[in-house]
Amino acid sequence: MKASVKDEVQSRRTFAIISHPDAGKTTLTEKLLLFGGAIRDAGTVKARKTGKYATSDWMEIEKQRGISVTSSVMQFDYEGFRVNILDTPGHQDFSEDTYRTLTAVDSAVMIVDSAKGIEEQTIKLFKVCRMRGIPIFTFINKMDRQGKPPLDLLAELEEVLGIESYPMNWPIGMGKDFMGIYDRYFNRIELFKDETDNPFIPLNEDGELEAGHELADSQLFEQTLEEIMLLSEAGNEFSEERIANGTLTPVFFGSALTAFGVQTFLDTYLQFAPQPQPRNSTSGEINPVSDDFSGFIFKIQANMNPKHRDRIAFLRICSGQFERGMTVFQSRTGKQINLSQSTQFLADDRNTVNEAVSGDIIGLYDTGNYQIGDTITTNKDMFQFERLPQFTPEMFVRVTAKNVMKQKHFHKGIQQLVQEGAIQLFKTVRMEEYLLGAVGQLQFEVFEHRMKNEYNVDVLMERVGTKVVRWVDDEKIDENLSNSRSVLVKDRFDKYVFLFENEFALRWFTDKNPDIKLYNPMDMK
């Protein structure tokens, strides 16, 4: 690979922001984009979330519900880095989409609301990052409000998430007494409400204020110094290695709403966040700076722009350089595909992309060629990247078309939405009935809405009382084992799956059939 392209790869930082809804993900994203010059107006990202911003209103349902249903990608240049932020839906019903997005990043930023601490959705998303062993950076937000004591928040990180932490900076007060942060990394104080142009006060070698400098509330500052001493003596040691392997999270305090601490966070984050990392494939580890181009599809999104009725496959580039018009192999089918239509994502627009390198995310216009998890590469070996994790649905419906004359549209709609990963499809072995599996109820509602709006089909959905799902670890099974309490179905890869009415039915089944090995894909990682 040419040295100039290698430099390009090394400048990439690709991450996702994870948090519980309302912790401040949209606000922080917006502030990061402002610093990066990718947007001019505060309110652009926020307006998209609330549905006021027309061009990025990718789906009607986002507007109607005021929630972000789909992940989007934003890119900006900052201080010699090219930063790719992958946005993720905050609503827990779309966590499947978020989980897949997390496979396409090299690190994650976790936002914690200082008043709420570690919340449920954060725990789930954190676990996925943990499974992948990616570095996690923590931003404790809303310091301008009264929150939990900072030491308690660190204790929660350890107790609830089981991750050790290293505070890169430390708040001086909070809420109406919030004065700023004591920055351990840059060895300076950053003042919250500073009337002058320079909010920074340098500290001396001992981490104390230089003679002649004083803070307005010296008592509060004394308390901060005591806490800093406690952290230095009893806290974790800083370790770049442990940050890189995801066992130590650097912690930053700030207030996204007032943009306080955001630039300091970004400056520090970029120093320690990993550049694009090697990825496992059927041909071993693929190096991001190798000459062959390769990547995988982690998301497919139809009708992002209702005016164009297009369908876009999101590709994470894992090696080499992308050039518009290049021809690649699709490893799953062996087909050759010409990549002439591609797009890059910005916060408020979509541009055509001509060149991109490992770490970047590009959108490929898709006419039905791609499936989630597909590898494309210029390498004749046609290796495949590790399969994306499969998520165990938590609820099921039986689905049919209201009007039997619409069968063709019905099948086309289901097939495309399933390929997109919007929902999981199962067929019963005897009757070939269609069952849909989802992680959250809203996924069904989006499915119904899209079937009507995009494929012109009204669907009937009837809830199935399945509580427990297990895949069968065997190619063959006696289909007569299927009954109303343990329904045998096949997933879209033709693998057998049992849908059990409840835990009791599962136990009864395993007692009766000890030779049949069942597993839950979510337990395997």
Residue 88 assigned to a binding site: yes
User: Per rule CB under 6 A, is residue 53 in the interface with ligand G4P?
Assistant: no
User: Per rule CB under 6 A, is residue 145 in the interface with ligand G4P?
Assistant: yes
Nearer to ligand G4P, 24 or 295 (CB): 24
Nearer to ligand G4P, 176 or 307 (CB): 176
Nearer to ligand G4P, 57 or 433 (CB): 57
Identify which range of 55-63, 140-148, 307-315, 435-443 contacts ligand G4P by CB under 6 A. Answer: 140-148
User: Per rule CB under 6 A, is residue 256 in the interface with ligand G4P?
Assistant: yes
Nearer to ligand G4P, 192 or 447 (CB): 192
Among 25, 82, 242, 311, binds ligand G4P (CB under 6 A): 25
Name the token pair of 373: 């998890």
Task: Specify burial of residue 484 (Cβ count, 10 A radius: 0-12, 13-18, 19+).
Answer: exposed
Q: φ and ψ at 328, to 5 degrees?
A: -130, 165
- Per CB under 6 A, contacts with ligand G4P among 107-126 are none
Nearest approach in angstroms of CB 90 to ligand G4P is: 5
Identify which range of 251-259, 293-301, 354-362, 383-391 contacts ligand G4P by CB under 6 A. Answer: 251-259
Name the residue with tokens 């499915």: 447
Per-residue HEC secondary structure of 295-350 comes to: EEEEEEEECCCCCCCCEEEEEEEEECEEECCEEEEECCCCEEEEECCEEEECCCCE
Cα–Cα distance between 300 and 373 in angstroms, integer?
A: 10
Nearer to ligand G4P, 254 or 276 (CB): 254
- Per CB under 6 A, contacts with ligand G4P among 363-382 are none
SS3 206: coil
Cα–Cα distance between 158 and 169 in angstroms, integer?
A: 18
Nearer to ligand G4P, 101 or 319 (CB): 101
Among 257, 326, 337, 481, binds ligand G4P (CB under 6 A): 257
Query: Using CA atoms in the order 52, 54, 56, 57, what is the torsion angle rounded to 10 degrees?
Result: 70
Among 9, 23, 361, 418, binds ligand G4P (CB under 6 A): 23
User: Per rule CB under 6 A, is residue 311 in the interface with ligand G4P?
Assistant: no
User: Per rule CB under 6 A, is residue 346 in the interface with ligand G4P?
Assistant: no
Of 121, 69, 123, nearest to 92 by C-alpha is 121
Residue 308 assigned to a binding site: no
Q: How far is CA 69 from the centre of its chain?
A: 12
Beta bridge partners of 183: 169, 188
User: Per rule CB under 6 A, is residue 51 in the interface with ligand G4P?
Assistant: no
What count of Cα atoms within 13 Å lies in the side-chain half-sphere of residue 403? 10
Identify which range of 15-23, 52-60, 149-157, 270-278 contacts ligand G4P by CB under 6 A. Answer: 15-23
Cα–Cα distance between 128 and 117 in angstroms, integer?
A: 19
Nearest approach in angstroms of CB 67 to ligand G4P is: 9
Around Cβ 162, how many Cβ atoms within 10 Å?
11
Around Cβ 87, how many Cβ atoms within 10 Å?
23
DSSP secondary structure of 487-521: EEEE-TTS-EEEEESSHHHHHHHHHH-TTS-EE-G
Among 13, 142, 311, 450, binds ligand G4P (CB under 6 A): 142
Residue 91 assigned to a binding site: yes
Nearer to ligand G4P, 51 or 393 (CB): 51
User: Per rule CB under 6 A, is residue 82 in the interface with ligand G4P?
Assistant: no
Nearer to ligand G4P, 255 or 294 (CB): 255
Fill in the DSSP letter of residue 237: P
Cα–Cα distance between 177 and 181 in angstroms, integer?
A: 12
User: Per rule CB under 6 A, is residue 406 in the interface with ligand G4P?
Assistant: no
Residue 89 assigned to a binding site: yes
Residue 143 assigned to a binding site: yes
Identify which range of 17-25, 429-437, 472-480, 481-489 contacts ligand G4P by CB under 6 A. Answer: 17-25
Identify which range of 159-167, 253-261, 279-287, 469-477 contacts ligand G4P by CB under 6 A. Answer: 253-261
Q: How far is CA 319 from the centre of its chain?
A: 21
Among 9, 15, 24, 182, binds ligand G4P (CB under 6 A): 24
Task: Specify burial of residue 132 (Cβ count, 10 A radius: 0-12, 13-18, 19+).
Answer: middle
Residue 261, H or E segment? none
Identify which range of 25-33, 352-360, 396-404, 492-500 contacts ligand G4P by CB under 6 A. Answer: 25-33
Nearest approach in angstroms of CB 33 to ligand G4P is: 13
Q: φ and ψ at 268, to 5 degrees?
A: -75, -45
Give the annotated binding-site residues for GTP.
Answer: 19-26, 87-91, 141-144
> Which stretches of the chain bind ligand G4P, using CB under 6 A?
19, 21-27, 90, 141-142, 144-145, 255-257
